[in-house]
């Protein structure tokens, strides 16, 4: 990893050089710590032990524990916006874009599980005004992408005349609530659950009128 910090027991840990990726290692370990233990219960000494970097080394990159948490939130949002935006850009049409948005969101969540959970928990507790503003701007940019997909679907007549902002909030609530119950490594992946959500959104719960007298069938969702 380019680090000059020894992993041998008893070796005194020095200040990490600026050229390595120890900052990234601190953020990864801190995300797990904050998500599992909570911000208030987490200590920099725990983070130092988990990373093998001294507290002085952590302070080389961050001024405080809060700065570490704020950096996790901003970085996670940046990567989420970039990843999902790129996937959506490759999809054609509102229905395909909605599917792309929701499955890409779920995939990012699963692959960045601890950072994502830490971001959801800690967003409202950000204290540095400039960092919080950056996070708010990223969140609004992300929500605008989703609202634009819904609005385009309405304009084309593919979606019912729903409120794009309210629908966007509902979609994100469904996706983000997965953090309450989903754990990586289960029988289904997060994108598989997201596909079920897409089917519910586009197909709904109501059954088509059964004119034939046979068993009722659920409404199909073209393109999903």
Instruction: Read off the CATH number of the domain in which 75 is found.
Output: 1.10.357.10
Please indicate, yes or no, whether residues 58 and 70 belong to a single structural domain of this protein.
Answer: no
Residue 158 lies in a domain: yes
User: SS3 string of the chain?
Assistant: CCCCCCCCCCCCCCCCCCCCCHHHHHHHHHHHHHHHHCCCCCCHHHHHHHHCCCHHHHHHHCCCHHHHHHHHHHHHHHHHHHHHHHHHHCCCCHHHHHHHHHHHHHHHHHHCHHHHHHHHHHHHHCCCHHHHHHHHHHHHHHHHHHHHHHHHHHHCCCCCCCCHHHHHHHHHHHHHHHHHCCCCCCCCCHHHHHHHHHHHHHHCCCECCCCCCCCCCECCCCCC
Distances (CA, A) of 23 to 18, 77, 122, 145, 214: 9, 17, 19, 30, 62
Residues 198-211: tens digit of each pLDDT: 999 999 888 765 44
Closest among 127, 110, 130, 25 to 69, alpha carbons compared: 127
- pLDDT of 209 reads 55
Please indicate, yes or no, whether residues 39 and 70 belong to a single structural domain of this protein.
Answer: no
- pLDDT of 15 reads 39
Residues 25-66: tens digit of each pLDDT: 999 999 999 999 999 999 999 999 999 999 999 999 999 999
Please indicate, yes or no, whether residues 144 and 57 belong to a single structural domain of this protein.
Answer: no
Q: With pLDDT > 70 as the criterion, what percentage of the chain qualifies?
A: 83
Residue 8 lies in a domain: no
Please indicate, yes or no, whether residues 169 and 93 belong to a single structural domain of this protein.
Answer: yes
Please indicate, yes or no, whether residues 57 and 87 belong to a single structural domain of this protein.
Answer: no
Residue 218 lies in a domain: no
Residues 110-128: tens digit of each pLDDT: 999 999 999 999 998 888 8
Query: Tokens 């928990």 sit at which residue?
Result: 121
Residue 2 lies in a domain: no
Please indicate, yes or no, whether residues 195 and 87 belong to a single structural domain of this protein.
Answer: yes
Residues 84-99: tens digit of each pLDDT: 999 999 999 999 999 9
Please indicate, yes or no, whether residues 93 and 126 belong to a single structural domain of this protein.
Answer: yes
> What is the total count of domains within the chain?
2
- What's the rounded mean pLDDT across residues 173-200? 96
CA distance 169 to 76: 19
CA distance 222 to 224: 6
pLDDT band at 20 (very low <50, low <70, confident <90, very high): low
Please indicate, yes or no, whether residues 40 and 119 belong to a single structural domain of this protein.
Answer: no
- What's the rounded mean pLDDT across residues 79-88? 98
Structural domain harbouring 84: 65-201
- pLDDT of 65 reads 94
Query: In the chain, what is the straight-line distance between the N-terminal and C-terminal CA atoms, in Å?
Result: 42
Average pLDDT for the chain: 86
Please indicate, yes or no, whether residues 85 and 186 belong to a single structural domain of this protein.
Answer: yes
Residue 180 pLDDT exceeds 70: yes
CATH of the domain at 39: 1.10.10.60
Residue 138 lies in a domain: yes
Please indicate, yes or no, whether residues 97 and 155 belong to a single structural domain of this protein.
Answer: yes
Please indicate, yes or no, whether residues 24 and 101 belong to a single structural domain of this protein.
Answer: no
- pLDDT of 213 reads 46
- pLDDT of 13 reads 33
- pLDDT of 14 reads 36
Please indicate, yes or no, whether residues 128 and 28 belong to a single structural domain of this protein.
Answer: no
């Amino acid at each position: 990893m380019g680090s000059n910090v020894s992993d041998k027991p008893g070796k005194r840990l020095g200040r990490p050089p600026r050229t390595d990726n120890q900052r990234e290692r601190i953020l990864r370990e801190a995300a797990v710590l904050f998500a599992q233990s909570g911000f208030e219960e987490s200590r920099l000494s725990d983070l130092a032990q988990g990373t093998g970097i001294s507290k002085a080394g952590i302070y080389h990159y961050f001024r405080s524990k809060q700065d570490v948490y704020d950096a996790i939130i901003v970085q996670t949002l940046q990567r989420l916006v970039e990843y999902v935006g790129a996937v959506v850009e490759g999809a054609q049409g509102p229905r395909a874009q909605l599917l792309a948005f929701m499955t890409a969101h779920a995939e990012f969540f699963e692959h960045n599980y601890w950072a994502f959970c830490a971001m959801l928990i800690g967003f409202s507790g950000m204290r540095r005004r400039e960092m919080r503003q950056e996070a708010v701007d990223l969140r609004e940019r992300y929500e605008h992408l989703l609202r634009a997909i819904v609005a385009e679907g309405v304009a084309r007549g593919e979606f019912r005349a729903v409120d794009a902002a309210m629908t966007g909030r509902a979609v994100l609530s469904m996706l983000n609530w997965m953090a309450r119950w989903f754990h990586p490594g289960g029988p289904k992946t997060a994108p598989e659950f997201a596909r079920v959500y897409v089917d519910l959104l586009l197909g709904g719960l109501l059954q088509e009128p059964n004119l034939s007298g046979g068993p009722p069938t659920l409404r199909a969702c073209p393109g999903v």
